[in-house]
Structure 1
Amino acid sequence: MNNAAPQDGLNGAARYCALVVLIVNVIMTSLDGTIMNMALPSVMKAMNATAASSVWIISAYQLAALTLLLPAAGAGDRIGLRKVYLLGVAGFTIASAICGIAPNLGVLILGRSIQGASAAGIMSCSNALVKLTYPKRLFGVGVSINAAVIAAASASGPSIAAAIMSVATWHWLFIINLPAGVFVVIMGSKFLPRNRMDVRREPVKITDVLLNMATFGLILVALQSFGQGASAVKEQIPANVALAMLVSGLIVGIVYWRRQLGLSMPLLPIDLLRIPIFRLSMCTSVTSFVSQTAAFVALPFLFLGIWGYSPARAGLLMACWPVTVVVVAPIVGRLIGRVPGGLLGGIGLAILAVGLALLATLPEHPDAIAIAWRMSLCGMGFGIFQSPNNHTIMTSGPAYRNGAAGGMLGTARLTGQTLGAAMLMLIFSVLPVNTGRGPVVALDLSAGMAAVAGIFSSLRLRYAPRTDADIASTHQYFEDVEPPTSGNACRIDS
């Protein structure tokens, strides 16, 4: 079936079939993250694993995903977004089967590593495929639906994990991915759009892939080691070794950056970072996810240790945040294209900052209503910000760099989440947790990071394109740097 995406998206039934495929996969991959966090204590107990070693069930996934996001995005721009996406789904499904039958911790960590590597292919191409599926006038709606589905899956993840584990072992948390993965591969091969690439393909060099993996891998492991050393988890890497890894990662990163400067399609998208609105959107995304992650990890300590709520009631109140995102995201999607993304992001992040600050001011035994409306306020702010920001990132560059833009979007999210978790653990290392002081300070800093993200977002108003001519002038940079060459034009991927 020929699903080569026209210049303005797919039409009719083809669009809805592609949308179903994308939504099913978003649900599968989003649930996997929240379910695994919920199931970690049970897996530790079943495998007689220590807390330090079990952390790698989560870390292996994050490490593989973060180090391979940009290479996967580069492959999507060169050999086809749909092809890389479906390979990622197939790999994720196979890895889920490996995790589901894992006899020991080592095999489970291996399966999680393969899941993370496969997720890199999915995350790097997902938003670009959404962009190819929708016409330009509806792309904002498509982005908002994607955000709403992710939020809904995140909110329902703990409940689904609890329901499965009440009737089956933890293995079934992975096995349930198999039918969804098979469905996506079969239906996606028929209905997902293909991307046209009309410029010469510059091959990805293995040296750049290795430098990318070394840069993000060394920095991620170092930051996680600092966090583990600051928390109750016994650190596995001495502090001086972790510091050396961090410095080495930064040095390798500088070498990697310099190698990319002269390339027309760099693996690290320096060409996109030269666009001011893209650069500011990336800063907005990283700082906002630092804020969200630190808050999400700090709040359970307050719910369970200070405010005196049961795990069930705490889970319901925590769900107020993502549930509000589900409600707000489609409404905001209708505003994208009518209201500048920088303005929507600035307003949303200001609301998020206020909500987090208000949570930090709650007394020792707050009532549920006081918590619920503050959590909902945070969700409203995050929902107003997220979709317009993702839309700006995906539309700031030319179409043939959609994969790179999607890769940077995923990289920003994972980087922010890693920094947020490390920041929280460092706070907990110097401030007491059992008195509530540490979590409250973490919420205050989260509010501050949300405010900084709002400033980055508002600065985008200087560069927001207002007419088609403005957009054309932005993309003209790329045409001047690397004009299309018909002799090396890329065919549609099959």
Structure 2
Amino acid sequence: MDTDNSAELNDPAGTVAPGEGVAGEDCRHEGLPTPRRYLALAGVWLALIVSILDSSIANVALPTIARDLGTSPADSIAIVSAFQLGVVISLLPMSALGEIITYRRVFIGGLCIFTLASVGCVTSHDLTELVVARAIQGIGGAGIMSVNGALARFMHPPRLLGAALGANALIIAAFGALGPTIASVMLALGPWQWLFAINLPVGAVALALAWRTLPESPKADRQLDLLSIVLNIIAFAMLLSGVDLLTRNPSGLWGGAVLIGGVIAAVVLVNRCLSQSRPLVPIDLLRIRLVRLAALTSVSTFTAQTLTQVALPFYLQDGLHFNLVQIGLLMTPWPAGVALAAPLAGRLADRVSVEALIGCGLLVMATGLSSLLWLSPGMELTAIAIRMGVCGIGFGFFQSPNNRALLSSAPMHRSGAAAGLIAISRTTGQILGAMLVAIFFRLFGHVGQSAIGVSALMAVLAALLGFARKSSGSRTVN
């Protein structure tokens, strides 16, 4: 495997020797010994499972929660939005904090916050209390999500990094798909509070395993940039709020003003980061061509995925007249395809060209999306399910190799920033995909083949970005 010559981009003063991290830490490591590595993996996976489930199970429970708390369905959406906002505003600060106090401490701290906030969700008596608890849950979830990739670099030897990221992708895909089913079963057996109460025993076990087994990492000799964190919170909060207000009322001046305020905060933040050697927004990493291409590929792919998965149920129900049970069955092959392909892709990423895996995988995904343009009323469920499975398999061959390429292209001492960049690229794509669905509804009053066509084009763009790495002169760091 090639080695990276890009570390000097992150160390203009020449204070870090080639192949070294902070304080001269040698990057040529072999990860944790077994069986400690497996116990650490179990702790990370349990934390990922509860954080992924909590991002999806609440959607199913919204009608039940709204009735129980005596609030309107429209207002209950805040239960989901609060969690998402907590995650988005915290991803970059948490990854920066991980480089300063170690990734282990941020992961454990995030897991503690997430678990304690679950107690707040269980004991909430009104919508306001639940929304606040969900926002705090999102902050804790960001602590888990922002550094798990960085921890992987210290837990596993370089030759197994792709396989480890593939296993993480499998966990995320499998439990993301199972979330609605698990929520439905739990709601049938008990009150909605059970959805959050389950986090307590699982979180406690994950915390015990993480505390005993997660590896330490070097500490960066710098302070947390509080002004950048404030600007980050303002920018993301105002951008998301402004877009939401504009989709609800396109002619409203308030939404436009909030959006402009968010753009200004974002510009100020980026301008501040340009002059820093280790900024909150990882501009230093984005100067590395492989990192930049991997991040852009991720944004484009998750935009295509989210646009399809949000728009397609509306198209299947309103345009093709399938019932809810059929729609649920038809949406399942996508995550099933991801779960099938991701572990294999992760292992292959440790052995073969990642640009080929990513580019070819995304072309498969684009082919699957394009085939969805020819759906028609009365079409066999099996034919549609196969198309969805093809999309999932293509997506699975993108995710693990792309994450591995981005992490491996960053110097070891910037692993936290690289992991944060993976998370923020994914989240940005998901937000853009949801925004496009709202725009299609505003422009046309429905979503259908046009939305799927845009998804296919985004997948083709992502594939081109994947293949573009072939000509890159940058190399990767283990």
Q: Which residue of 2 aligns with 1:171?
A: 193
Select the residue among 417, 437, 441 that pairs with 2:450.
Answer: 441
Select the residue among 172, 180, 188 that pairs with 2:202.
Answer: 180
User: How far did residue 174 of structure 1 move?
Assistant: 0.5
Return closer, same or farther for 1:161/1:464 CA change in 2, 3 Å cut-off.
farther
Q: Which residue of 2 aligns with 1:418?
A: 431
* Mapping 1:391-430, distance limit 5 Å: 391-430=404-443
Report which stretch shifted further, 108-117 or 251-260.
251-260
CA distance in 1, matches of 2:254, 2:466: 37
User: How far did residue 252 of structure 1 move?
Assistant: 1.5
Select the residue among 137, 143, 151 that pairs with 2:159.
Answer: 137
Are the equivalent residues in 2 in contact too, given 1:224–1:418 (CA < 8 A)?
no
Select the residue among 353, 375, 393 that pairs with 2:366.
Answer: 353
* 1:283 is aligned to 2:292: no
Which amino acid is 1:227 matched to? T
* 1:366 is aligned to 2:379: yes
CA distance in 1, matches of 2:426, 2:88: 10
Q: Which residue of 1 aligns with 2:472?
A: 463
TM-score w.r.t. length of structure 2: 0.91
1:263-315 CA-to-partner distances (Å, cap 9, x unmatched) read 22111111101101101111111111111111111111123333333322321
CA distance in 1, matches of 2:232, 2:224: 12
**Alignment: residue pair count:** 453
Q: Where has structure 1 moved over 4 Å in runs of 4 or more? A: none
* 1:221 is aligned to 2:202: no
Are the equivalent residues in 1 in contact too, given 2:163–2:350 (CA < 8 A)?
no
Which amino acid is 1:429 matched to? R
Q: Which residue of 1 aligns with 2:225?
A: 205
1:423-481 CA-to-partner distances (Å, cap 9, x unmatched) read 11110112133xxxx2221111111111111111111222265xxxx446xx9xxxxxx
Are the equivalent residues in 2 in contact too, given 1:321–1:375 (CA < 8 A)?
yes
Which amino acid is 1:361 matched to? W
CA distance in 2, matches of 1:357, 1:373: 13
1:353-382 CA-to-partner distances (Å, cap 9, x unmatched) read 111121121012211111110000000110
* Mapping 1:183-332, distance limit 5 Å: 183-197=205-219, 200-229=220-249, 239-332=252-345
CA distance in 2, matches of 1:215, 1:223: 12
CA distance in 2, matches of 1:35, 1:143: 24
CA distance in 1, matches of 2:322, 2:174: 23
CA distance in 2, matches of 1:309, 1:296: 15
CA distance in 1, matches of 2:59, 2:211: 31
Q: Which residue of 1 aligns with 2:388?
A: 375
User: How far did residue 120 of structure 1 move?
Assistant: 1.3
Select the residue among 379, 385, 388 that pairs with 2:401.
Answer: 388
Percent pairwise identity: 37
CA distance in 2, matches of 1:219, 1:461: 35
Structure 1 residue runs without a partner (length 5+): 231-237, 476-494
SS in 2 for 1:17: helix
Select the residue among 431, 443, 459 that pairs with 1:450.
Answer: 459
User: How far did residue 10 of structure 1 move?
Assistant: 0.8
Which amino acid is 2:244 matched to? Q
Which amino acid is 2:147 matched to? C
CA distance in 2, matches of 1:270, 1:228: 33
Q: Which residue of 1 aligns with 2:134?
A: 112
CA distance in 1, matches of 2:362, 2:246: 28
User: How far did residue 204 of structure 1 move?
Assistant: 1.5
Are the equivalent residues in 1 in contact too, given 2:42–2:209 (CA < 8 A)?
no
CA distance in 1, matches of 2:66, 2:366: 36
SS in 2 for 1:335: helix
Return closer, same or farther for 1:98/1:6 CA change in 2, 3 Å cut-off.
farther
Report which stretch shifted further, 170-179 or 260-269.
260-269
TM-score w.r.t. length of structure 1: 0.88
User: How far did residue 150 of structure 1 move?
Assistant: 0.5
Q: Which residue of 2 aligns with 1:478?
A: none
CA distance in 1, matches of 2:278, 2:437: 36
Which amino acid is 1:323 matched to? A
User: How far did residue 54 of structure 1 move?
Assistant: 1.6
CA distance in 1, matches of 2:294, 2:188: 42
CA distance in 2, matches of 1:217, 1:418: 12
Are the equivalent residues in 1 in contact too, given 2:285–2:410 (CA < 8 A)?
yes
User: How far did residue 52 of structure 1 move?
Assistant: 3.2
SS in 1 for 2:231: helix
User: How far did residue 179 of structure 1 move?
Assistant: 0.5
CA distance in 1, matches of 2:225, 2:265: 16
Provide the alpha-carbon RMSD of the alignment: 1.8
CA distance in 2, matches of 1:247, 1:280: 28
Q: Which residue of 1 aligns with 2:146?
A: 124
User: How far did residue 392 of structure 1 move?
Assistant: 1.1
Q: Which residue of 2 aligns with 1:20?
A: 42
CA distance in 2, matches of 1:28, 1:133: 21
CA distance in 1, matches of 2:413, 2:93: 15
